[in-house]
Every structure is written in C-alpha cells, then in structure tokens.
Amino acid sequence: MGIGTTLALGLGGIFIGAVALYYILSIYNGLVMLKNSIRKNWSNIDVLLKQRTDLIPNLIETVKGYMKYEKKVIKQVTDSRVEMMGATRLVDKAKANDDLSEALKTLFALSENYPQLKANDTFLKLQEELSSIENQIADRRELYNDSVNIYNTRIESIPDMVFAKLLGYGKEEYFKATGEERREVEVKLE
C-alpha cells in the first residue's frame, strides 16, 4: 500500500469517526433538550398549582360566613389544599390537583344556593381568578403531555432507545386526569 492510500484510508476513518461522533452527540443533545422541556413545562404547571393553592385560604374565609351548613365541602377544599401542598412526586401532585379541582367544583356549584355569596365582590374575584388558573393549568398540562409524548416516543425508537438505556433515561409520566376528575360533579345539599 502506498502512502497516498494509507493517508486516504486514515482520513476516511477520521471522517467516518467524526460523523459517528456528531450523530451520537446529536442524539444525546436531543434527549437532553426533551428532558429539559419536560422539566420546564412541569415547572410552569407547578407555579400555577402554587398560585391556586395560595388563593384557597382567602376563598375559605370568604365563604365561611355564608355557607355555614356546608362544613363538609369547606373541609374537603381545605384538606385538598393541604394534600396539594404536601405532594412532591408528579403522581401525587396530579392526584392532589384532581382532588382540589373536584372540591372547588363542588364548592362553586353549592355557592349557587347562596345569593348573598354570589353577590360578594371578593368571592366573584376569587372565583374568576381560580377559573382562569384552572384554564391555564389545562393548557400547560397539554404542553407538558406533548413534551412527554415526544420524549417517550424518542426513547422507544431506534437508535435513540440504545442511548437512552445507556444514559438511564426512562419513560416519563403523563399528567393525567383521574376518573374522579372526568365524572360530573354531584351536589348533595345537607
């Protein structure tokens, strides 16, 4: 073999190695980008969950005077808030979110029976704020779940699957609505 052939083979090997390295780094960077997108989208949801949780004490104070006979519902809202504040894992936060949403739906449905409460400016403002936050949570949940879907699809597809396993990247959980959140609110007057 001549020096020209050896040089061509060496340069060809370096080129193939560089392309392979670029490909591997592209896969790695793509997975990191998707993982960070999931974290960012979850953080956006978490901020809204905190905002909603912070409004609950004001809501409870506002309705207490009007809804004296609805202690069970008020306790349910308060307990759900405590559950939300104590949740750390995604699954727990999703369940706590569903429980709190359910309790708030029941509270707002029952408030229809209290005309003076429905005329209270503070209550109306809180109801509007909470409704707005609920809508924002739903929007952010969709973005989060889209990110999770893209990520999970990538780590289950070849060749990304190989690198994901080597890096210890596993499937992410969707932020799902529970069966309780999907059913209609049932209001029982006491």
Query: Over the stretch 119-153, which tens digit does the pLDDT of each residue have?
Result: 889 999 999 999 999 999 999 999 999 999 999 99
**Domain edges within the chain:** 36-182
pTM for the whole structure = 0.78
Where is average pLDDT lowest: 3-17, 44-58, 72-86, 118-132? 3-17
- The two tokens of residue 58 are 């004001």
Pick the CATH number of 36-182 from 3.40.30.10, 3.20.20.70, 3.30.450.20, 1.20.1440.20: 1.20.1440.20
Q: Could you tell me which residues come within 8 angstroms of residue 130 by beta carbon, excluding any fewer than 6 positions away? A: 52, 55, 59, 104
Q: Rounded CA gap, 136 and 185, in Å?
A: 21
Q: Could you tell me which residues come within 8 angstroms of residue 125 by beta carbon, excluding any fewer than 6 positions away? A: none
